[in-house]
Structure 1
Amino acid sequence: MSKNRDGWGKDDEIIRASDDLLTSLSKDPSIMQSIYDVLPNQEKLQEARDRHRSLFHQVVDGAHDKEPELEAARNDHIAKMSLVTGMATLTGKHDPSIPQKLGLVHQNAGKRGSAAGLSVPGNFRMMYEGRSIIARGSAVKGARSYEIWVCEGDPLAEASWRHHATSGKINKIEITGLTPGRLYYFRIRAVGARDAGPWSTFISMMAI
């Protein structure tokens, strides 16, 4: 039996995995409600933001005993933002206007070039192959290698990104070392002899 279009194993494996998932959900219907309850609405996101901001200013003003609370509030705020932006990015596959309205997609990113003349790798995509995640894209003229950076927090915060892999080829870059069940964001850029090109738009995917 051949692989499906996304390269995620064999069709019968996907169907069996779905059967197991549906069986578990049927045994305990509250699981889905628990999942929905974790997703923040606008009110919960606002509360997380306000608490983070309040504690931040308290610590800046000298209340250093509040630093543990600030760290917890920061992590909670980032987690809620990541859930919202991650769901919006996934929703964008069905309605591209959603991530665009939230400023998560930079429509002209693929048209910009760097000072060295490098462009954004075209057709950047991530896919499952078995339990591995593979990055693919179109080669960039003048590129000597390609960098994959990963983000586990807020993809709109530059400090959340870190280098994950470098490859001399872009037709197949295997992404390893991820935690199953965790949502990640990925982006790629070409690297030339003297400079690196601009980043692609980011893609979200959950490790399995």
Structure 2
Amino acid sequence: MSKNRDGGGKDDEIIRASDDLLTSLSKDPTIMQSIYDVLPNQEKLQEARDRHRSLFHQVVDGAHDKEPELEAARNDHVAKMNLVTGMATLTGKHDPTIPQKLGLVHPLTGKRSPAGGLSVPENFRMVYEGRMIIARGSAVKGARSYEIWVCEGDPFTEANWRHHATSGKINRIEITGLTPGRLYYFRIRAVGANDSGPWSNFISMMAI
């Protein structure tokens, strides 16, 4: 197998895998529809939210026998929210305004601090590994560590933010101690020997 100078040696492998996928889809056209059916629309998300809210209030009012139903409703609600926000984030690679309109990403006002010191950690993102949230980003020149701050309220109110974790590496920061079913906002900054850099964009994610 020949390789091009851009490292395209896997092209044949990708094309063969795509051929296999298309063959399977052609044999059973219902597969694609089943995939679409899993994705929640606004109506399905609203129904999941309403069921979750109703059961939550029932349990709070003393209906503790409903707790298993509440847990199932919570998990279903979170799963649907994550599907919607995940698809919106992926779509944002083609249209950045979509995740911004949903409040998933707050646009940055600048890349560097006023003094021209540490830069903003680029490619900041949050991903799930099982039920754990992992923060990742690109290393910043001159940084000795990185701070993750979290917000549970209005992310545009500075007083709502609090320090959550500090790490010497930015390629994998485990986020622990979160409450399942709660929506959080996260941001990161680089910390040097004598100063801290500007904040990244903030990202929202539901803990599971």
- Taking structure 2 as the reference length, what is the TM-score of the superposition? 0.62
Seen in structure 2, the aligned counterparts of structure 1 residues 25 and 10 have a Cα distance that, compared at 3 Å, is same
C-alpha distance in structure 1 between counterparts of 2:4 and 2:203, whole Å: 29
**Counterpart code for 1:66:** K
Unmatched segments (≥5 aa) in structure 2: 127-135, 150-154, 156-163, 174-185
**Counterpart code for 1:47:** E
Tell me what 2:138 maps to: 137
Greater Rg, structure 1 or structure 2? 2
Task: Return the offset for 1:192.
Answer: 4.7
Task: Return the offset for 1:24.
Answer: 1.1
Seen in structure 2, the aligned counterparts of structure 1 residues 39 and 125 have a Cα distance that, compared at 3 Å, is closer
C-alpha distance in structure 2 between counterparts of 1:24 and 1:54, whole Å: 41
C-alpha distance in structure 1 between counterparts of 2:19 and 2:195, whole Å: 49
Seen in structure 2, the aligned counterparts of structure 1 residues 52 and 25 have a Cα distance that, compared at 3 Å, is same
CA RMSD of aligned residues (A): 4.0
Tell me the number of residue pairs that the alignment of Structure 1 and Structure 2 aligns.
Answer: 165
SS at match of 2:34: helix
Seen in structure 2, the aligned counterparts of structure 1 residues 52 and 121 have a Cα distance that, compared at 3 Å, is same
Seen in structure 2, the aligned counterparts of structure 1 residues 136 and 69 have a Cα distance that, compared at 3 Å, is closer
Tell me what 1:153 maps to: none
Tell me what 1:63 maps to: 63
The answer as to whether partners of 1:92 and 1:99 remain within 8 angstroms in 2 is: yes
Unmatched segments (≥5 aa) in structure 1: 127-134, 150-155, 157-161, 176-185
Task: Return the offset for 1:60.
Answer: 0.8
C-alpha distance in structure 2 between counterparts of 1:65 and 1:125, whole Å: 39
C-alpha distance in structure 2 between counterparts of 1:102 and 1:110, whole Å: 21
C-alpha distance in structure 1 between counterparts of 2:23 and 2:74, whole Å: 37
- Taking structure 1 as the reference length, what is the TM-score of the superposition? 0.62
SS at match of 1:105: coil
